Chains A and B, each alone.
Chain A
Amino acid sequence: MSQQTSVLYDVPGPRQRRITLISSVVAAVVLLVGAYFLIYQPLADKGQFSMELWGPLVDPSNENFALVWERIGIGFKNTLTAAALAIVASLVVGTLLAVLRIQLKSLTQRRFTGMATPLAYLLRGVSLLLSAVTRVCVEVFRGLPVVITIFFVARGFPEFGIAMDTLWYLVIGLTIYNSVVIAEILRSGMEGLPGGQREAAAAIGLSPLQTTRMILLPQSFRIMLPALISQLVVVLKDTSLGFIISYEETLNIGKQIIGVLGNPIQVYVVIAVLFIVVNYSLSKLAQYLQRRLSQGRKTAGTPAQNPPPAALMSQAEGAGSA
């Protein structure tokens, strides 16, 4: 960031710095006055700053304090449980899906020589069909909003007599969407690798599956780690969608607290701060890993890899539904 900004403009001199300082102080005063009249006053008029509303959240001596935070704790634990389950499940399913799609792709290029002609045609047809089916599935589930996926799971499963805890509806819904996204991330990582990797693996006699498992997949994980972690942040944020199927996560607990205490703004501020702190530290972790990895790659002397496609990276950063 710092080098980037300094490229766009000259380093400010003493006069510029003085002007900046004075004008920002003036602007800050104007903004504070504006905020006082436009935000603080209306809120204070409605008594939004009274201890009656904030007390249960910030004042340990309040009678409700312990209970409220215990409930929020439960909600947060539920959020984290659902997020952890969904993350593990979508990583596993996503990896399998990526491997499957890579395998099917190489299978469609095989001509099955040395078999009876009808059999060879049949096998080629089947592999083409499977490849197309997985492609369509990926496109469909990537294009659907994750809210809708969760909603469909929660509404559809009981219709077919599969009754489960709401936790599992949420986890399944999140997994369907995120495993597809993760599969696409990993697959593009594998396809971005230099072709020599695959050829070298074939030359020493590894089967296609072994090539994927031992050569391509580990490298792809490594390149795509930042994108993967951003996607995991997205999963954590998406867990808050559990409230639409009344899973008892943080927001839902918040709603219950509001129902009793009647302080929506205060509760949502606290919940927002909780989410921001956790997600911000996860994003920082992703940045740190990215730095570490780019250093590691330099010293290892491997050839420069193709950068991951921008669409997928930003998909991982922006695509989550909430």
Chain B
Amino acid sequence: MNVLIDKFDVFAGGFWLTLQICVLAAIGALLLGAVVAVLRISPVPPLRAVGTGYVNVFRNMPLTVVMFFAAFGLPALGSNADFLRIPGLDAVFSRLDTDLPYFRFALIALVLYTAAFVCEALRSGVNAVPAGQAEAARSLGLTFGQNLRYVVLPQSWKASIVPLGSVIIAMIKNSALAGFFGVVGDLSATADQLTGAEGYAFIPVAIGISIGYLIMTVPLGALLDRIEKRQAVAR
């Protein structure tokens, strides 16, 4: 059990790095997912096709393959994902700025992959709004944008919060893959490092790593359960 105490800073650092990846990827995926969702419900057929194509491609591809593309395809394109070094943001998330690009690659892969699921969650919320609402808005003469902004989205938000939450939980779990794609020092890379190269006993390390992930996933899951139960009663 000593490793938990001796190496506490390693575990804490891994937790902190995983948390950074998750926060950044969640922000990116929510933004991109919202854009794709608007594309998918937009009145312009080509944009709809683009949105549908995006979702079909990324939902059916293993995240591992997306990670490979980000980690090998981007360098082949001559990009080091430098555009992610957003001034101000890289002061808080220092990993964005370091020279090894793997943190940024992992981030791109996670955002691209999760955005497809975020899009579906948002769309399921829009589908849950009774059709009469949008029809009434249309008969008042609201345009598509106004319809979404003033009538549909404020109501759909409620129905999509639970699916969105599960997508984010899934994303937190998916972020474990980053450790196997060159990101040094996140929770899963720490597990590999401690049990492999440094030869610590397996069980304590496993417990430490598990606690790190469970701290993030279990409370979120419990919160979602509560929200869902409350909504079920309200309905």
Q: Which residues of A contact B (CB under 8 A)?
A: 3-5, 7-10, 12, 20, 24, 27-28, 39, 42-43, 46, 48, 139-140, 142-148, 151-152, 155-156, 159, 233, 237-238, 240-241, 243-244, 251, 264-265, 268, 271-272, 275-276, 278-280, 283, 309-311, 313-315, 317-322
Q: In the complex, which of the residues B57, B126, B148, B202 contacts A156, with contact meaning CB atoms closer than 8 Å?
A: B202
Q: Which residues of B contact A (CB under 8 A)?
A: 41, 43-46, 48, 56-57, 59-65, 68-69, 72-73, 76-78, 117, 120-121, 124, 126-127, 131, 134-135, 138, 143-144, 147-148, 152, 159, 162-163, 165-167, 169-170, 172-177, 180, 187-188, 191-192, 195-196, 202-203, 206, 209-210, 213-214, 217-218, 221, 224-225, 228, 232
CB contacts (< 8 Å) of A315 on chain B: these are: 166, 169-170
Does more than half of chain A's interface fall in helix, strand or loop, or is it mixed? Answer: helix
Known: A148-B191, A283-B59. A9 touches B180 (CB 8 A): no
A312 to B, closest residue via Cβ: B166
- Are B63 and A143 closer than 8 Å at their CB atoms? no
- Are B213 and A251 closer than 8 Å at their CB atoms? no
> What's the minimum C-beta distance from A134 to chain B, rounded to whole angstroms?
16
- Are B131 and A276 closer than 8 Å at their CB atoms? no
CA distance A315 to B228 in the complex (A): 13
- Are A280 and B169 closer than 8 Å at their CB atoms? no
Q: In the complex, which of the residues B44, B72, B218 contacts A265, with contact meaning CB atoms closer than 8 Å?
A: B72
> What's the minimum C-beta distance from B76 to chain A, rounded to whole angstroms?
6
Known: A39-B77, A265-B72, A276-B57. A24 touches B221 (CB 8 A): no
> What's the minimum C-beta distance from B47 to chain A, rounded to whole angstroms?
8
CA distance A148 to B206 in the complex (A): 9
- Are A264 and B72 closer than 8 Å at their CB atoms? yes
- Are A317 and B117 closer than 8 Å at their CB atoms? yes
CA distance A157 to B31 in the complex (A): 41
CA distance A315 to B164 in the complex (A): 10
CB contacts (< 8 Å) of B63 on chain A: these are: 237, 321-322
CB contacts (< 8 Å) of A238 on chain B: these are: 62
- Are A144 and B165 closer than 8 Å at their CB atoms? no
Does more than half of chain B's interface fall in helix, strand or loop, or is it mixed? Answer: helix
B56 to A, closest residue via Cβ: A280
Known: A159-B202, A275-B62. A24 touches B46 (CB 8 A): yes
- Are B148 and A8 closer than 8 Å at their CB atoms? yes
- Are A311 and B163 closer than 8 Å at their CB atoms? yes
CB contacts (< 8 Å) of A268 on chain B: these are: 65, 68-69, 72-73
- Are B176 and A148 closer than 8 Å at their CB atoms? yes
Please list 23 pairs of residues, one from A and one from B, whose beta carbons are closer than 8 Å in the complex, sorted by A's number: A4-B127, A7-B131, A8-B138, A9-B143, A24-B44, A139-B221, A144-B210, A144-B214, A144-B217, A145-B173, A145-B213, A152-B191, A155-B196, A240-B62, A240-B65, A264-B68, A264-B76, A279-B61, A310-B163, A313-B163, A318-B121, A319-B169, A321-B176
> What's the minimum C-beta distance from B73 to chain A, rounded to whole angstroms?
6
CB contacts (< 8 Å) of A43 on chain B: these are: 76-77
Closest 6 CB pairs of A and B: A279-B60, A145-B176, A314-B163, A143-B217, A145-B173, A240-B62
Q: In the complex, which of the residues B48, B65, B117, B213 contacts A148, with contact meaning CB atoms closer than 8 Å?
A: B213
CA distance A46 to B72 in the complex (A): 14
CB contacts (< 8 Å) of B210 on chain A: these are: 140, 144, 148
